[in-house]
């Protein structure tokens, strides 16, 4: 019931009344806030709402709070104080909040207790996938040869996708080996069954075979001093975020704690197999 109420309230499903004070707001028709809310209708908020309680005083709608934080990020705004100010002064933020004015404590409580790293990672993944499906963004624009990366400026102004792919191939090989080592360790010691831990798997959806092929060709061309081939193919990867790696480490730490396995440090000390896997 709590989930349905929050969802219907934010997206105004089943509501017949019009608040004319908001009807008169003169937001541009192409303001991205409209796209944001429309795309969000397709997201699964069950993870976020699971962190909310229906006991005690009702707080701000968590879906609305996520929308505000996401819209702020779209505009390059990270400061909570700045977001609070915009909720009182900016038409788009006022439209999202429907005139409510969340304060600093509300945003910090939301970020610390409800919008956990796992929930945020899941929602942002859904959000980007939905934007891509609607044709509103393309992941192919992430690395463009010679394109300036607008971030904290330093002398590394340009990122070349061919170079990125070359190093990424080696990195993915290392990660894949890590996953295989983790799975073998669980199976050999029957820890997967004992602690109900499934096998870890990295999925490279498309592009990697072609990248490896070009890398190998370029190695041969280098020997005869021929010009390198372009290696700008898009690699689409799933289930390979730092959070996934962190989950594996947490699982290994859980096993160590329950099995009484102590980690050792320093030269000349033999590390247990579990520590080597971690």
How many other β-carbons are positioned within 10 Å of the β-carbon of residue 251?
A: 20
**Helix runs in 51-140, H state only:** 62-74, 80-89, 91-97, 104-109, 117-133
Mean pLDDT of 187-209: 80
Query: What is the C-alpha separation between 248 and 274, in angstroms, rounded?
Result: 12
Q: Look at the pTM and tell me if it is higher than 0.85.
A: no
pLDDT digit string, tens, across residues 33-89:
888 888 898 899 988 988 887 676 778 999 999 999 999 988 889 899 999 999 999
Query: Whole-number mean pLDDT of the chain?
Result: 77
Q: In this structure, what token pair is assigned to residue 171?
A: 């990195």
Q: Give the pLDDT mean for 262-271.
A: 72
pLDDT in tens, 81-136: 999 999 999 989 999 998 899 999 999 999 998 998 888 888 888 888 887 777 76
Phi, psi at residue 50, to the nearest 5°?
A: -65, -25
* Residue-range domain boundaries for the chain: 2-133, 161-277
Does residue 220 carry a pLDDT above 60? yes
Structure token pair of residue 211: 């990248």
Q: What is the largest CA-CA distance in the chain?
A: 75
């Amino acid at each position: 019931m709590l989930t349905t109420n929050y969802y219907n309230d934010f997206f105004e499903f089943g509501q017949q009344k019009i608040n004319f004070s908001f009807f008169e707001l003169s937001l541009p028709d192409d303001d991205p806030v409209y796209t944001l809310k429309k795309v969000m209708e397709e997201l699964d908020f069950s993870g976020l709402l699971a962190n909310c309680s229906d006991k005690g005083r009702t707080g701000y709608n968590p879906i609305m709070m996520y929308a505000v934080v996401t819209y702020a990020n779209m505009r390059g705004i990270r400061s909570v104080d700045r977001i609070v100010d915009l909720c009182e002064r900016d038409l788009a933020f006022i439209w999202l909040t429907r005139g409510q004015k969340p304060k600093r404590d509300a945003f910090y409580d939301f970020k610390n207790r409800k919008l956990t790293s796992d929930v945020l990672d899941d929602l942002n993944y859904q959000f980007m996938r939905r934007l891509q499906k609607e044709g509103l963004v393309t992941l192919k624009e992430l690395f463009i040869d010679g394109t300036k990366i607008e971030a904290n400026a330093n002398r590394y102004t340009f990122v070349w996708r061919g170079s990125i792919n070359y190093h990424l191939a080696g990195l993915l090989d290392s990660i894949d080996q890590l996953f295989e080592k983790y799975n073998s360790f669980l199976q050999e010691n029957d820890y997967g069954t004992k602690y109900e831990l499934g096998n870890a798997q990295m999925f490279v959806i498309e592009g990697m075979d072609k990248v490896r092929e070009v890398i190998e060709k370029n190695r041969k061309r280098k020997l005869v001093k021929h010009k390198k081939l372009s290696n700008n193919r898009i690699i689409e990867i799933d289930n390979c975020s730092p959070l996934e790696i962190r989950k594996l480490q947490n699982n290994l730490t859980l096993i160590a704690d329950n099995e009484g396995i102590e980690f050792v440090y320093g030269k000349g000390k033999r590390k247990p197999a579990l520590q080597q896997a971690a």
